[in-house]
Amino acid sequence: MMDKNNLACIDNKKGRVELKSVSQNHPFYHLSDRDNIISFTTNYYHPQPLVIKGPGAGTEVTAAGILADVLKII
């Protein structure tokens, strides 16, 4: 069940994603442009979620990877 702090939810094998703003106390608020983040709220990680945050590839590396995949296909 989606609560006000969730942006995505998987419940009974069904997923749901919402685009919305978050407050300063939300784990995703301080996310920088090159970071990846995921937050798990479960029966064991409630009320404080398990948050995993780390560097992402960034736009240049992602674009180069996509181009390499396209060239392999061709």
Q: Give 44-71 pLDDT, tens digit per residue.
A: 988 888 999 988 888 888 889 999 999 9
- The secondary structure of 21-63, three-state, reads CCCCCCCCCCCCCCEEEEEECCCCCCCCCEEEEEECCHHHHHH
Query: What are the structural domain ranges in the chain?
Result: 8-73
Q: Give 16-49 pLDDT, tens digit per residue.
A: 888 888 889 888 888 887 788 888 888 898 888 8
Cut 0.95: pTM above it: no
